[in-house]
A and B are shown apart, each in its own frame.
Chain A
């Protein structure tokens, strides 16, 4: 089965600093998703990447998928307390009834004043 490894597991940064979260797959990714979760809440969709070398941005968050489509990074510029939460990368896995999203273990981000 496809495994997604995220690093770091947790991150504490000072407000205004930049940070990067990585997601590595054991297999070629055909779709890589980034979600954000506040503890005890649902997931908020951030971005989806499909093509090798693709890069997408939304406000201060940029996600990239490498050319080999096995690694993705999420970069936050000038972090703010509102960026705090758990960031999850996900990829479609083939299951009996079709495809479902499988997730990495997540990266917990805390932004301090």
Chain B
């Protein structure tokens, strides 16, 4: 299947700093990319959807100024956690689709963010 690469896999940062997570579709053009957050032993919570060249659509309760999403090209989306705090520590996963709904979504390997 198609490959989605997410980087970094792990990051530790100090409170107040910003962290950028990259999500790349390696062998297909991702018309839409999704960002999820996963708490321990819980399911994936959709944070936002990004379409190439347009502003991301955030789910209710997700602060867009806190979690900046940029979908600069058909193969790259980035999530920046700004002014990170310990409560932002979590597992973040991106996914990408080359088509519309009812098509397979490919997932990155995830990023474990720890804010100290």
Inter-subunit contact A45/B106 (CB<8 Å): yes
Chain A 62-98 near chain B by CB (<8 Å), digits 1 or 0: 0000000000000000000000000010101001111
A100 at the interface (CB under 8 A from B): yes
Say yes or no for A52: interface residue by CB 8 A criterion: no
Does A88 contact B44, Cβ atoms closer than 8 Å?
yes
Question: A31 near B102 (CB under 8 angstroms)?
Answer: yes
Bound state CA distance, A108 and B41, in angstroms?
9
Least distance between A33 CB and chain B CB atoms (Å): 8
Q: Hey, which bits of chain A sit against chain B, CB under 8 A?
A: 30-31, 33, 35, 40-45, 48, 50, 88, 90, 92, 95-106, 108
Q: Which residues of B contact A (CB under 8 A)?
A: 1, 4, 6, 32, 34, 41-44, 46, 49, 51, 54, 57, 59, 91, 93, 95, 100-102, 104-110, 112
5 contacts between A and B (CB under 8 A): A40-B91, A40-B110, A97-B57, A98-B51, A101-B34
